Amino acid sequence: MNAFYLPLANQNVKNFNKHALVDLIRFAGRGVARTDIAQELGLTRASVTMIINDLIESGIILETESRSARSGRPAVVLDINPKSGLTAAIDMGATHLSVAVGDFSAHILEEVEQPFRIDDGPEHCLKEADRALRLVLEKSGLQISDLSAVGLAVPGPVISETGMVMAPPIMPGWDRFPIRTTLEKLWKVPVALNNDANLGALGEWVYGAGRGERNLAFIKVGSGIGAGLIIDRQIFGGTTGSAGEIGHLTIDENGPLCTCGSHGCLEAFAGGHAIELQAQKLVESGKRTLLSDLNIKSITVREVAEAARRGDLAAQEILHRSGTFIGIAVAGLINLVNPSVVIIGGGVAEVGDLLTAPIRKIVRERSLRAAEHAVKITTAMLGRRSSLIGAMVQATHIAIHSAIESKPTRNKAAYRADKELAEQSDHEEVILAKDKSNTPHASHLIE
């Protein structure tokens, strides 16, 4: 069962069990039975009942029927109430902008996608994002004040405490710009900011190809290449938010110049931008290729993939080489992190087998056997939306946990009396969870 815990700054420690319980329900997929909750959190059924009643009363969770019951009969489970609020998600890529509004189960109500240039700088780009968000809201008959939170994915290393990016290679002008503060001032709703690859990992982990996994890596292959890591069910951002910058692993120190200023990074060999440059060079060389019919200055990865699918050997070779380089880096990552699943996502990953087949081959050849046996390499189940959905998950996270905090906490005496009453009617020992590593204080915080 999944659990994920990202404490908020304003979180009251007394509400720990409530927060843990809500996360357990959120990330379980299809609802959780009451008995499983008691066991997972190491609480008595009486305590669990009390917390659940409180959360149902405040409209955050609800009881529903699970259709996946093993017995065949529908079982009553607890799930997040998707209608308890609305959030928006914004995915800023190097060359695209996606904005969506959705409910608390990340069901998208409306979405827009438009061309965009992150290198236009923060003032221009945030204005664009604002305009796109207002358009999406207008289409759904909503206003910004209807949103509980907004999640934002950016293609650079994010320092979450400050809501800024630090020294982002492909975001000129954005270094330490107060992104979160600016948007919160503009919209007057909480804004959650994170790196796009990290949010891709989160999106796939909660709703996509990484459900239920403990350790996973999400490789985002877009114009650039980045990785998001979930280690022991937590996003791993590193000290300054730049963990997983797999695109800047050196493949060949004498290789082409990269956006980060170094030479021969993976991204400069295998990212979407590199693929397009190689396609241009191919056409310029005068070799026979279907790509010659296209406008040389604007050849896209999609066109290279299309030519490859139609049997163009030179186009196939470009994608094969890109997959091979990504495979070398992924094999190293697998040796380092030992994940159970590696998810290849981002726009370029939509190319499919032409890219993933060489990645799988190289991983088989180069990863240590123990790690290679345990890992599954797959494409993103959410397609282009991994980071967008991840941003929505993070926005919902803030919204739900803030809602728990804003509800007046009952005083300790009343809580204890309730607890004793409940325990008299339900003589049950505290069941300790088998694995409490993710909820370290679950049993003693309600005392």
Q: Rule CB under 5 A: which residues touch Zn ion?
A: 248, 258, 260, 262, 265
Work out how close the CB of 97 gets to Zn ion at its nearest, in angstroms, rounded to a whole number.
24
Instruction: Tell me the closest approach of the beta carbon of residue 218 to Zn ion, in angstroms.
Output: 19
CA distance 100 to 212: 25
Question: How far apart are CB 261 and Zn ion at their closest, in Å?
Answer: 7
Nearest to Zn ion of 260, 445 (CB atom): 260
Q: At what angle do helices 272-284 and 313-337 cross, to 10 degrees?
A: 150
3-class DSSP assignment, residue 11: coil
Helix or strand run (H / E) with residue 22: helix 16-26
Q: Count, in order, helices (H) and strands (E) of the chain.
A: 14, 14
* Number of neighbouring beta carbons within 10 Å of residue 374: 14
Of residues 102 and 156, the one with the C-beta less far from Zn ion:
156
- CA 336 from chain centre, in angstroms, equals 21
Min separation Cβ 248 and Zn ion, Å: 4
Minimal distance, residue 260 CB to Zn ion, in Å: 3
Cβ distance to Zn ion smaller for residue 226 or 358: 226
Among the residues of 116-232, which ranges form H helices? 122-139, 179-187, 196-207
For 51-71, give one letter per residue: b (16+ CB within 10 A) or e.
Answer: bbebbeeeebbbebebeeeee
| Contact of 364 with 248, CB cutoff 8 Å | no
Rounded CA separation 117/95 (Å): 5
Smallest separation (angstroms) from Zn ion to the CB of 257: 9
Q: Shortest distance, CB of residue 263 to Zn ion, whole angstroms?
A: 8
Which CB atom, from 257 or from 313, has the smaller least distance to Zn ion? 257
Nearer to Zn ion, 4 or 269 (CB): 269
Of 251 and 404, which CB lies nearer to Zn ion in the complex structure? Answer: 251
* DSSP assignments along 232-293, one per residue: TTEE---SSS-TT-GGGSBS-TTSPBPTTS-BSBHHHHHSHHHHHHHHHHHHHTT---GGGG
Nearer to Zn ion, 160 or 262 (CB): 262
Helix, strand, coil % (nearest 5) of the chain?
45, 20, 35
Rounded to whole angstroms, the Cα distance separating 49 from 433 reads 17
H helices within 42-187, ranges in order? 45-57, 122-139, 179-187
Q: Are 359 and 344 in contact (CB under 8 A)?
A: yes
Q: Which two tokens stand for residue 82?
A: 């998707």
Which residue lies nearer to Zn ion by CB, 85 or 168? 168
Q: How far is the CB of 265 from Zn ion (least distance, A)?
A: 3
CB nearer Zn ion, residue 265 or residue 314:
265
Contact 157, 100 (CB under 8 A): no
The whole-angstrom distance between residue 367's C-alpha and the CA centroid of its chain comes to 25
- Do the bridges between strand 75-80 and strand 86-92 make them parallel or antiparallel, or are there none, so unpaired? unpaired
The three-point CA angle 404-410-416 to 5° equals 120
Is the distance from CB of 206 to CB of 392 less than 8 angstroms? no
Which residue, 150 or 158, is less far from Zn ion as judged by CB?
158
Question: What is the rounded distance in angstroms from the CA atom of residue 31 to the CA atom of residue 27?
Answer: 9
Smallest distance from Zn ion to CB 172, Å: 14
Cα 264 to Cα 272: distance, rounded to the nearest angstrom: 15
CB of 258 to Zn ion, least distance (A): 3
Find where tokens 């975001």 sit: 171
Tell me whether residue 332 or residue 383 sits nearer to Zn ion (CB atom): 332
Smallest distance from the beta carbon of 264 to Zn ion, in angstroms? 8
Work out how close the CB of 84 gets to Zn ion at its nearest, in angstroms, rounded to a whole number.
Answer: 43
Report the residue number, 258 or 393, with the smaller CB distance to Zn ion. 258
